[in-house]
Chains A and B, each alone.
Chain A
């Protein structure tokens, strides 16, 4: 075997891709040729260095959240946005009416309800989170695990109050994608029900806090409010009164 031929085969040899007889020829050549043997050793070292030293990246959570959101849109049970929006507006209007009559909350929330897209996206996001394995990215009953988990994943610090003693155990947090931006979701439980609390920075900055407005869509109850410059949405299939209790405690505690 000539050196040129040997050199061509070296990479395949170290990758175990050379057939046995060719490999035997190359090794036989090493016995006669120190240069080729050294070249082989250099390639082995290089390959080992690369294997051990190169970073194997992990897909970021925000990418996973975006993909979840995009893949969910290709699911047939999530109706097309246009079709749902109209019914949402109707229901949101009904929800605002309920909010006004049932709890005497301020009227300032009508503006919130007139923006259906966020609520729409929040509801479909909550629905897909209920599919197996999608509920939380970080599963923890400890607020001191969940809150820091959002550091570096979103550019704000979401509220993660401890409501254990009130019967709303913390289940964890996840990153989701609503309104074309990553949002924080904190998940609580109530018996077998799940409550997702979404938050993201309000468009208008800090602004005046807005009291909760509620709406009901297909058996799900939603409440939205703003506080400390963040817009919050709570969504659950829990009954309306209990969800309202939950939000009262949530806003009182954080």
Chain B
């Protein structure tokens, strides 16, 4: 790969490093693992840069980051015999909260992070890609390699689980 290619790669891909790191942080739930996974992903992206045609560089990079993270999780799971995913229902109960999202306090944020971290990875990734990265369904479908209908239903189920875990609407429901 020539110097020009590497420079073009840096120009096209590196602006999305924060997005890549954010996805890895949520998928791996560990800052050091996330750094390693993003590092691997960027080098992998560089090796496959010739295959990248003009298009959405962010979604392209996120797809590679996601695959690196999943490989990481598999390796991690093989290493530990117990799978540490909590079910949302068993996560710590959260006090019913006002739905006025304008005043999110620190404890609310922590609770939010906790319930998102407790989601299974296939739900967590669509939440991150939609609510933080604000990708369209089509882009999410490209990143996770699943049909748009699947993306839609995962997103719906993930939000439902989060709403239940955060007891949003619980007050009105009685």
Complex contacts, B169 vs chain A, CB 8 Å: 38, 41-42, 45
Give residues of chain A (15-41) contacting chain B, Cβ–Cβ below 8 Å.
15, 17, 38, 41
* A126 to B: closest C-beta gap in Å: 17
Identity of the chain B residue whose Cβ is nearest the Cβ of A48 in the assembled complex: B101
> Which one of A74-82, A108-116, A230-238 is at the B interface?
A74-82
The answer to whether A4 has its CB under 8 Å from any CB of chain B is no
Complex contacts, B3 vs chain A, CB 8 Å: 75-77
Identity of the chain B residue whose Cβ is nearest the Cβ of A49 in the assembled complex: B101
Assess the A59–B17 pair: CB atoms within 8 A.
Answer: yes
Assess the B2–A64 pair: CB atoms within 8 A.
Answer: no
Give residues of chain A (38-71) contacting chain B, Cβ–Cβ below 8 Å.
38, 41-43, 45-60, 62-64, 66-67, 70-71
Assess the A60–B31 pair: CB atoms within 8 A.
Answer: yes
Chain A contact residues, majority secondary structure: helix
Interface centre among B46, B101, B109 (most CB of A within 10 A): B101
A62 to B34, CA, bound (A): 12
Identity of the chain A residue whose Cβ is nearest the Cβ of B163 in the assembled complex: A46
Interface size class of A (residues with CB under 8 A): 35 or more
Assess the A71–B6 pair: CB atoms within 8 A.
Answer: yes
A66 to B39, CA, bound (A): 8
The answer to whether A12 has its CB under 8 Å from any CB of chain B is yes
Assess the B46–A53 pair: CB atoms within 8 A.
Answer: no
Given contacts A15-B137, A75-B6, A76-B3, contact A54 B131 (CB under 8 A): yes
* B153 to A: closest C-beta gap in Å: 7
The answer to whether A8 has its CB under 8 Å from any CB of chain B is yes
Identity of the chain B residue whose Cβ is nearest the Cβ of A14 in the assembled complex: B159
Give residues of chain B (1-45) contacting chain A, Cβ–Cβ below 8 Å.
1-3, 6, 9-10, 14, 17-18, 20-22, 25, 31, 34-35, 38-39, 42-43
* B96 to A: closest C-beta gap in Å: 13
Assess the B18–A53 pair: CB atoms within 8 A.
Answer: no
The answer to whether A10 has its CB under 8 Å from any CB of chain B is yes
Given contacts A56-B132, A71-B6, contact A50 B127 (CB under 8 A): yes
Assess the A67–B25 pair: CB atoms within 8 A.
Answer: no
A96 to B39, CA, bound (A): 37
* A130 to B: closest C-beta gap in Å: 14
Contact of B21 among A15, A59, A74 (CB under 8 A): A59
A149 to B172, CA, bound (A): 49
Known: A47-B131, A52-B104, A74-B1. 10 other contacts (CB 8 A): A10-B156, A17-B136, A43-B163, A45-B163, A46-B163, A53-B109, A55-B113, A60-B21, A60-B31, A63-B17
- A-B complex: 4 closest residue pairs judged by Cβ atoms: A42-B169, A11-B156, A50-B131, A59-B21
